[in-house]
Structure 1
Amino acid sequence: MPEQNSESEALLRAEELLPPNILDTSTGVEGIVANEIATENELTNRVEPEVSSTYGAASQASENEENVGTSSSPSVSLRRKKVKKRKSEQFDASGYAVPPPQLYFILGSIFMGAFLAALDSTVVTTLLTVISSDLDALPKFSWIATSYLLAMAAFQPLFGKLSDIFGRKCLLILCNLLFSCGCLICALPKHFGGTFTTLIVGRFLTGLSSGGLTTLGTIAMSDLISLRKRGIFQGIANIFFALGASTGGLVGGFISDAYGWRWVFLGQVPLAFIGAVVVYLFMNLPSGSLGLGAQDTDTKSKLKRIDVLGSVTLITALVCAMLAADLGGQKLLYKTWSFAALVTGFVAFSLVFAYVELYSATEPIVPVRLLANRTVLASSLANWFGTMAGFTCLYYIPIYFTTVLEFSSTENGLRFVPSVFLASLSSVGAGFYMKLTGKYLWFAIVTSFLSIVGVIHVALITPTIPVWDQYSLLILPYCGYSAMLTVTLLALIAAVPPEQQASSTSIQYAFRSTGSTLGMSLASAFFQSVLIRNLPTRLQDAAPPDVSPKVLKKVIKNALSNGEYVRVAPEWAINPIKSTYESSCKAAFLFALVTVTLGFISICFVKEHKLHTNIARK
């Protein structure tokens, strides 16, 4: 009897949770479908407050509900089973889509991918001459770096939409495996067909997959972590990326000296392969996650959804832009037909791409209409201009130190250590700020303004700069830049619906990658114009009467082509060389000041949106 009473009371409690059948106005009878929807909504609303406290509470609550109604009617039991299924598909209200132990394995693979992508972009900087000489292709050495950066920039915007179709897990595994294959191809010895062309193919593959590792890693973290906590983990990812970029040259030089340059690439093969295995084993997103891609469709149907025309025109336009930026003014003079053809190709294919995405494509590979969103456009432009300024300072401060202050490479590197370290902390600090406050706009404005102050300080550099200032010169610009990357990414994701976060993230990465290449090209144009215009005149004015025209011509040629020539130049030429390089670097710094200011203006147009504490953004 007590058991029956208990069972009856439980059944009554269960029945109280169920609303009465709803009249379906289209049929005049009690609607089964409408009633089940109302039932699910009612149960969800009543149970949800108890679920949001801890991971796993949803499934426990559903189990309790099912146990209560085991002796109820079949319709009640069926409805409760549906509620259980619905609750099991709910994202974790504590801010994570998977349990923390599983999350940490996935994040480890993502951080490893970011590290390898950045490492491989700079690991060859100290090896260009060694590799090209070993393969008898010294005049073509620049393609070792260009092929990588070209593939990375051209294909990076595609991964967002492709991951919406095929899923993040599939593409992350593919990119890790392609990265391993690319590095293996680069390391092929000559007796296995390893020629310079083979190396370029390998570098192209690693560049393509690196673009996927960085973009997909960022997108996947948005599937796994709520926006409120997202910034902290993005900051950590930025640390790994910065660590890879800053140590690439050092690691490459050390391994090459100890074991040979091929081991620089071979050493990365197992790391990327392990990353693929970890993703395969642990990246099991909950049912209903956008990161799973298109469900219940076969591969053929998924392939038909790819915007082929948009992809081809976008890649072609970006390739033309990257080649024009990389070759223009040096290997291709600005007045040549070749350079004009690249610029024309960029403009033409960009217009075709925009037309296809706006009016033709059923599912645009890059939804251009997203740029009509104020925050998407503003945050992307902030990345574009900010990256131009950041890379200009990164490359031309060492040139200033080398030519004007006559520092060695080691002395240059040591002076970057405080900036890299504090910039990493700045990125994570931005994440903590957003987690604690749920805000980001004024933080972004203040840190961007500090970047302007820092670049002004860089532009005012003099040869008498004190030692302490040499070590702190890049702290403000880099801390501001690092914080900006984290904040604008979160602002962009928060400004669009969850189903558009992958495409919008790809757009921002495209702005960032093209900004680095285009910024370096424009900064180089300003630097070279001042150098070429002033150096010959200053050396001619400073040359003693007994210096022959032949010797003067040789000094001018060496000074224009080699920044370290100042260390071995004739005494009469040292001051003119230093002063000209100083003014040339300052022309690049002024360009950086203009672009960082434009980035600050772009930040001011970003709109504040709510940073949700759960994955479902509710």
Structure 2
Amino acid sequence: MSTEPNSRACEQHHHLHPNVIHDSSADSAGIIASELAAEDGSLLNNNILKSHSYGAIEGETPDSYEIDDPHGGYALPKRQLITVVSSLFMASFLAALDVTVVTTLLTIIASELKAVKNISWIATSYLLSSSAFQPIFGKLSDIFGRKFILIGCSLMFGIGCTICVTDSLWWLVIGRFITGWGGSGLTAVGTITMSDLIPLRDRGLYQGLANICYALGAASGGFIGGIVADTLGWKYVFILQVPLAIIVGIAIYLNLNLPAGSPGLGAHGQDIWQKLKRVDFLGSFCLISSLMLFLTAASLGGRDIAFSSNLFISLVAASFVLLFAFLYVEAYVSEEPIIPIELLANRTVLASSLTNWFYTMGIFAILFYVPVYFTSVLYLSATENGLRLVPNFFGVSLGSLSAGYYMKRTGRYYNLAVAAGILAIFGSYRVTLLDTQTSTWQQYLMLIPQGLGYSCILTITLLALIAATPMKYQACTTSIQYTFRSTGSTLGVSAASAIFETVLGSSLQRRIMNLVKDPEEARNIIAKALEDTNYVHEAPKYVREAIRTSYDEGCRGAFYFASVAVVIGVISSLFMREHKLHTSLNRD
């Protein structure tokens, strides 16, 4: 999972609201299990847990599985394991790259298609579908099997990219939507599949590698997109992804042969129609619709839709109505809910989910507004801005791998969560102290502490969930994590944007009105300053410092919000329990 922001997108799009929903964090949840009943003081009733048919074998709902002939604790021979895991890493890389590679080329694509007014939908359509559909893939893979869903998502990703090779804006939007649908399945089910393959004790190390692949895809998207667009044209950005998606699908088809007893095999003894009857279509509709409306409101609110408008209020109200309908359906209607709501009564599941939610809110708010600060307050160029974000990638990589290695060696994670929390709090607090006197070397190191802490906590919460839930719930618990993480990233950036806009607008109103005697001229300056971060370089000299100071105050408001969110996330992590990390898929 990536924590790397799309720095070039932040630099090239001058309006102050996010064009896209940054959701690169959503790749790092994967669940396997031990026994929930063993947790002292669990709020879950075992009878309730056993009431859901989540077993891979028809008519059975086992609390544990016996994997036939595990290869040294792994589910596949070494050669096949390496091939499958490498393919899943490639899928993760593609899903992350496809987000940032397009946002970098938005203005080029929109200009060629003569669709500048609708530019945001090119990127937003991918991220809306990616975030909204991720929660349902866990249960689908329980029913149809991991291999079937992964191959289908690879095919969908390739078809979506193919549709994007068009001269029509709305066909491009549809293609992006389908690509996001497929990409979300590749990341979600890919993570679940690694949990089917790898023993709990080693799972964190592999997740660290997956996080690096996702971060690398997100970080390199702008660079790769620029080169391809300049040399071959923007359509080849999509064309070149098709064969890679096909390769991933073929590799999965030939090598993902899970052993008997694995929950990743799907339902046994049932034809396609029997499996379709097990799908919770009503619950899926309510959840997907709720998330789509919520994410649309969050991503467009304040930019294309006023927060006080009837449309924004209606979107939010409808999303909550559908959310409550989803909760009712899952609790009282569905025989096989896509997300068992009662799992959230488990202390570790709830704590880790809230940890991810608040951490992601805070970290993504920082990652979005630090570049804005560098550009509008420190007057840094796009290149200088981008270079200062590079060390964060190495911090994320080090944190993910170190956390995985620590847990592999010690079999513990709680103390590491506490240490990661201290580091994240320090890092987020340090960002609030960023000012014009901050030295260059500090600017380069600014994002490393929270990057380290956040990447550690992603891997830690993964292992905590693996140890806290029965194996039959591994895919569904992953879905819970994706839901919290995707909404957390969107809500964090949107809330930070609202705070930023409010503080910035108030400060500009106060300062510019005091400097400019002509009310009409003052309003024009304020409007331009609100629309374009680069206007601070073009404004009349006598108001530049006022605009710069206003941006400083606006960014600082966003930073304070981020810091508070991280602190709440750290507090949430303290409620997780320490569980045993097994060294075999059979929990030996």
Q: TM-score normalized by structure 1?
A: 0.83
Structure 2: distance between partners of 1:157 and 1:417: 31
1:93/1:614 contact within 8 Å kept: no
Equivalent pair of 1:164/1:294 in contact (CA under 8 Å): yes
Which residue, 549, 553, 570 being the options, matches 1:600?
570
**Contact 2:507–2:553 under 8 Å retained in 1:** no
Report deviation, 1:550.
4.3
Give the whole-Å Cα distance in 1 for the aligned partners of 2:331 and 2:69: 33
Which structure 2 residues correspond to residues 289-438 of structure 1 after superposition, within 5 A?
289-438=262-411
Q: Which has the higher contact order (CA 8 A, sep 6+)?
A: 2
Cα displacement string for residues 447-496 of structure 1 (whole angstroms, at most 9, x for unaligned residues) = 11210110000011111100110000000011100111011011111100
Contact 2:138 2:476 in 1 (8 A): yes
Tell whether 2:533 aligns with 1:563. Answer: yes
Kept in 2: contact 1:493–1:505 (CA 8 A): no
Match of 2:76 among 98, 105, 108: 98
Shift of 1:537: 2.2
Q: Deviations over 1:255-306 (max 9, x none)?
A: 1122111111111111111000000011111111111011111111100000
Q: For each residue in 1:102-148, what CA deviation from the matched residue of structure 2 results, as whole angstroms up to 9, or x when unmatched?
A: 10100111001111111111112221111112112110000011111
> Distance between the aligned counterparts of 1:457 and 1:566, measured in 2?
25
Deviations 1:349-386 (A, max 9, x none): 11110011011100001111111111111111111111
- Correspondence for 2:488: 515
Counterpart secondary structure, 2:534? helix
**Number of matched residues?**
524
Counterparts in 2 of 1:64-213, with a 5 A limit? Answer: 90-92=68-70, 94-188=72-166, 190=167, 195-213=168-186
Q: Distance in 2 between matches of 1:95 and 1:456?
A: 42
Amino acid at match of 2:361: M
Distance (whole Å) between structure 1 residues aligned to residue 67 and residue 565 of structure 2: 46
Is structure 2 residue 470 aligned with structure 1 residue 497? yes
Q: What is aligned with 1:583?
A: 553
Partner residue, 1:46: none
**Separation in 1, partners of 2:502, 2:523:** 19
Look up the match of 1:48.
Answer: none
Q: Distance in 1 between matches of 2:184 and 2:463?
A: 19
Q: Decide whether the 8 Å contact of 2:74 with 2:585 is kept in 1.
A: yes
Give the match's secondary structure for 2:103: coil
CA distance in 2, matches of 1:484, 1:579: 35
Q: CA offsets, 1:497-543, max 9 Å, x none?
A: 11101100111011111111111110100000011111132122233
1:233 counterpart = 2:233:
no
> Which residue of 2 is the match for residue 42 of structure 1?
none
CA shift for structure 1 position 549? 4.4
Q: In structure 2, the residue corresponding to 1:173 is in which secondary structure?
A: helix
Q: Aligned residues: percent identity?
A: 52
How far off is 1:246 after superposition? 1.2
- Give 1:286's aligned amino acid: P
Residue in 2 that maps onto 1:483: 456
2:443 counterpart residue number: 470
Q: Per-residue displacement from partner, 1:523-572 (whole Å, max 9, x unpaired)?
A: 100000011111132122233x6xx5444333222211111111222111
Note the residue ranges of structure 1 that are not aligned, 5 or more in a row. 1-86
* Separation of aligned partners in 1, 2:506 and 2:378: 22
Q: Structure 2 CA distance, aligned partners of 1:136 and 1:249? A: 22
The aligned residue for residue 268 of structure 1 is 241
The separation in 2 between residues aligned to 1:556 and 1:595, in whole angstroms, is: 30
For the 8 Å contact 1:155–1:211, the answer to whether it is kept is yes
Q: What amino acid is aligned across from residue 161 of structure 2 in structure 1?
A: C
RMSD (Å), alpha carbons: 1.3
Contact persistence 1:95–1:229 (CA under 8 A) = no
Consecutive unaligned residues in structure 2, runs of 5 or more: 1-64
Q: Who is 2:585 aligned against?
A: 615
Structure 1 counterpart of 2:195, one-letter code = S
> In structure 2, the residue corresponding to 1:563 is in which secondary structure?
coil
1:330 Cα deviation from its structure 2 partner: 2.2
Contact persistence 2:396–2:455 (CA under 8 A):
yes
Shift of 1:93: 6.3
Moved more, 250-259 or 348-357: 250-259
Q: Residue 274 of structure 2 aligns to which amino acid in structure 1?
A: S
TM-score relative to the length of structure 2: 0.87
